[in-house]
Chain A
Amino acid sequence: KNEVEQSPQNLTAQEGEFITINCSYSVGISALHWLQQHPGGGIVSLFMLSSGKKKHGRLIATINIQEKHSSLHITASHPRDSAVYICAVLSNTGNQFYFGTGTSLTVIP
């Protein structure tokens, strides 16, 4: 069983749609990261959360520590948002990071 589970695995949306990607984890954590990876590209950290909610432009990330769940929302999606979004958690018992398998998002014009 993976320590971090993401859903959905693949997501196709029309430009302008509101998108939600979910992440559930089974370990105690110090922090949770949402990462973005464009095809053939590097990995960028979008958010680091330990509680509550953060917003950058059209991206919103929330976390519920009690339920061990986080969501990444994209409002007014755009084709340039097409990428793989990865949830990663930092265990609170060491410096180990655990990764979800990623959600591949395609936004169609």
Chain B
Amino acid sequence: NAGVMQNPRHLVRRRGQEARLRCSPMKGHSHVYWYRQLPEEGLKFMVYLQKENIIDESGMPKERFSAEFPKEGPSILRIQQVVRGDSAAYFCASSPDRGNPGANVLTFGAGSRLTVL
């Protein structure tokens, strides 16, 4: 069981470019969460997704940010026209369905560190 896989681990972009961050949840996990950690700050919730559905995106900036979790493949967090303030670590976590054993388990990926020049 490979755990939650995030890639790339490090990404450097220039202002105005697009950043795409990928997250493959643990096998058997159908809930994915994205969090952002700005330098010297705590984790901030961005978005919660299940397969093909966005359940809660209350933490996502209204512009430039989008997330998806397609039926096949990883969840993707997309940041368009990046600015320096987007530089942060982006963590993905996954958990199983409520009815499954270990439903309260939360497993984090190693994070993707975005640097905007």
Contacts and interface: CB of A to CB of B under 8 A. Distances in A.
Interface stretch (A15-23, A64-72, A73-81, A95-103): A95-103
Interface of B: 31, 33, 35, 41-45, 48, 55-56, 91, 93, 95, 98, 103-111
Interface in A25-69: 30-31, 33, 35, 42-45, 48, 50
Nearest to B31: A95
B104 A90 contact: yes
B98 A45 contact: no
User: For chain B, what secondary structure do more than half of its interface residues adopt (helix, strand, loop), or is it mixed?
Assistant: strand
Contact of B45 (A30, A99, A100): A99
Interchain residue pairs A-B with the least CB separation, the first 8: A31-B104, A101-B42, A43-B108, A42-B110, A99-B43, A102-B42, A95-B31, A90-B104
A45 B31 contact: no
A97 B33 contact: yes
